[in-house]
Amino acid sequence: MMSMTCSNLDFGRSVLDLVACGCSSNASIDRSWVRSYAKGVSRRSSRHFGAKRLVFCKQNLARCRVYSTKTPETLLNGVSQGPPPVLDLKKEARSPVSLSNVFEVVADDLRTLNQNLQSIVGAENPVLMSAAEQIFGAGGKRMRPALVFLVSRATAEMVGLKDLTTEHRRLAEIIEMIHTASLIHDDVLDESDMRRGKETVHQIYGTRVAVLAGDFMFAQSSWYLANLENLEVIKLISQVIKDFASGEIKQASSLFDCDVELEEYLLKSYYKTASLIAASTKGAAVFSGVDSSVTNQMYEYGKNLGLSFQVVDDILDFTQSAEQLGKPAGSDLAKGNLTAPVIFALEKEPKLREIIESEFCETGSLEEAIELVKTCGGIEGAQELAKEKGRSCNPESPKSSSKCLSIRP
């Protein structure tokens, strides 16, 4: 059995201090457990967790080695001599490791990906190409393709592969294209003017071009996906595109609904975020040729990392400034999208319900609602949820629940 661990992952504006998940359960989602779990989180939400530090624990970690494409000499001199070093994540976990340090293992892979992204979109239509350049050029952490590369290198070593395959690299490009297409469509649906501190595609080119650009990128990524000629991965990634639509429908149908349950929020977060990350990590393992037990573990790892990542992102919407976020703070709440911090705060503050159900019709009501979320346990409850998701499917942790939120692998 292989366990993947990343210690002190710094996701730009927050820290996830040890993300590790490894359950391979194939059971359908246990709705009764989610409800009881939500109540349990609410009861424990009074415990204090630092606003920027969430601790994820995993015991008895197996040794995981990831080959770096760069030696220390290469970083200094640009010249590589001898075999690449090995990063022993178990050993290195004793000291803080930032996301940038972990990603340095696949720095060359990411550079190549960035060079290829625009070219694989295609140059048939200059307007669509320009729209793609706008969103790709806005930057981003490239977390999803980086995870593809990290899992690819970890699992490739298990079967004796010396380097990544063409399929590994193309999968990373496909994943980032799908993610980018979803962002373009999200911005249209949310009527967002800013993304990563820059104007959105629809703001510059109009809604029509933005929708077509997103559609084109989905179609182009599907074409490249089909050419990988791996039915398991094709089905896996195709389901993600369907999940995106399901997530948007769920979100649109529950705007300003103060009765939304934590179960619904988790399922929507899975559809919109965790599904793609889970498919990324499992797909990478499939192309390495490891057995199904490992690929299922990688799916669970990606799923729970994705859920934790989404909860943290929702926390940041309340705790960071517009300059740090690259978009207006509290924008989700302003549009009626009730995330984890709001769901937990609603349990303690009836006045918050009144403000939200009024759809912030009074001047200053949005600011008042944001302050209530901060002062009524919303942030702490969401931090606990993120922590629990990081370890909920870890059978080796004595503190983990006996059940886990299990969505198809």
| Cβ contacts of 3 within 8 Å, gap of 6 or more | 20, 22, 58, 61, 62, 64, 297, 396
Distance CA 11, CA 188 (A): 25
pLDDT tens-digit readout, 208-239: 988 988 898 899 899 999 999 999 999 999 99
Nearest alpha carbon to residue 267 among 31, 16, 41, 42: 31
Distance CA 214, CA 201 (A): 10
Nearest alpha carbon to residue 349 among 385, 377, 330: 377
pLDDT tier at 139, thresholds 50, 70, 90: low
Domains and CATH numbers, the chain: 9-391 (1.10.600.10)
pLDDT tens-digit readout, 297-349: 999 999 999 999 999 999 999 998 777 776 777 889 999 999 999 999 999 99
Sign of the four-CA dihedral 187, 193, 197, 198 = positive
pLDDT tier at 42, thresholds 50, 70, 90: very low
Name the packing angle between helices 365-375 and 292-319 (round to 10°).
120
Distance CA 310, CA 76 (A): 36
Q: What is the mean pLDDT of the chain?
A: 75
Both tokens of residue 35?
């409800």
pLDDT tens-digit readout, 181-201: 898 898 888 888 877 667 888
Q: Which amino acid is at 79?
A: V
What's the pTM value of the predicted model, to 2 decimals? 0.73
- Please state the rounded mean pLDDT for residues 63-71: 37
Q: Would you state the pLDDT for residue 138?
A: 59
Q: Would you state the pLDDT for residue 68?
A: 35
